[in-house]
Amino acid sequence: RLGFTSLQMAAVSSSGFRLTKEHLVVAVPVAVVAAAGGFLVSRYLNRRSCQKGLVNTFISKDSPKVVHSFDMEDIGTKAVYCRCWKSKKFPYCDGSHAKHNEETGDNVGPLIIKKRDA
């Protein structure tokens, strides 16, 4: 008991702050709740950033894999296909990659297939 009182007196004389059991009874639960809250918020934000990192956010989400196949004869002279997965006309490009590139700093563009001039 004498050691704790001496410690209290030293704290009071050097900083003007006095640490008591009542302070600890309040401070420890607050610190535990703050630490748990910070942990949960960081997990939530981390999970959200992973969701935002998805490339395909809305196209054929019920399918295990999105695959498109085209015959060269059906293309005509030129076809422009989306590679950013943001096109509302997917699999065809509608220019959505420009907004995607501006927002993310990415440099994705379309896949252009055209017949060679003979």
How is 58-107 classified by DSSP, letter by letter? SSSTTSSS------GGGTTTEEEE-SSS--TTTTB--SHHHHHHHHH---
Residues 75 and 115 sit within 8 Å (Cβ to Cβ)? yes
Secondary structure class of 11 (helix, strand, coil): helix
Residue 110, preceding bond cis, omega within 30 degrees?
Answer: no
Q: Is 65 a catalytic residue?
A: yes
Residues acting as catalytic residues: 65
